[in-house]
Structure 1
């Protein structure tokens, strides 16, 4: 790995650690961040009984929240505080208790003030649960 890439990954990791110190909601959901890098995040969680709706399906709010967290880690990974400007989500399948859900956020575009991200939530068998698109406003505040 080249020096700039290693430095960028180290910076993204430091931002993630700082964010997680204060992110009670991601902890409540049991989100485990597997990997971060510039404009990227992959995390996972296991669907618990308290995460399902009245039909036994993974509650859409949990799916949305996990995607939103991956989006947050990805868009803040460059070290400038970023906030969601607009997001959309398409629910394609429903998860169930015991499913291992992987959520992966990828940067599609990064400009001075705006970043665009695609987030995909899948089950352990590869079924796509949801597709999330987020646009982030990049403030001038440095995180570290």
Structure 2
């Protein structure tokens, strides 16, 4: 099995159980070893008191992309620490895309950067996540 095939198989298994991402209308667009791209349309129920997308939804989109990127090696991997910097507002009906890329992976620790953009390519936020591999596999070995 190639690294891309392994990444896709892991993603399919995780996606089948990820009701949080699915219920928010997220779409898993692509996955490869250490990478994932997920998109989501901002709905009116995601708007805050300023009429823009609540930051928690943007964080959740980024966190989902991070999770799929760091779980592409068939090792159960969880978030150890995450942070987000909001750069511009997202609006109702915007299509947001989170692209996660592995920066470093050594031993049980990983470092991932996620860029969130809107349908025009404008940067909405930057997210950084530290991962930690735990016991277990996603797929049977």
Counterpart check, 1:26 vs 2:18:
no
CA-based RMSD: 0.9
Counterpart check, 1:106 vs 2:101:
yes
Tell me which residue corresponds to 1:17: 12
Cα distance in 1, alignment partners of residues 64 and 95 from structure 2: 16
Q: CA deviation at 1:140?
A: 3.5
Q: How many residues align?
A: 139
Q: Please list, as runs of the form range in 1=range in 2, the aligned pairs for 1:15-54 lying within 5 A after superposition.
A: 15-54=10-49
Cα distance in 1, alignment partners of residues 121 and 31 from structure 2: 21
Q: Any idea what SS the aligned residue of 1:58 has?
A: coil
Tell me which residue corresponds to 2:117: 122
| 8 A contact 2:14–2:138 mirrored in 1 | no
Give the structure-1-normalised TM-score.
0.94
| Structure 1: stretches of 5+ with no match in the other structure | 1-5
| Structure 2: stretches of 5+ with no match in the other structure | none
Counterpart check, 1:84 vs 2:79:
yes
Deviating beyond 6 angstroms after TM superposition, the runs of 4 or more aligned structure 1 residues are none
Cα distance in 1, alignment partners of residues 33 and 18 from structure 2: 20
Give the structure-2-normalised TM-score.
0.96
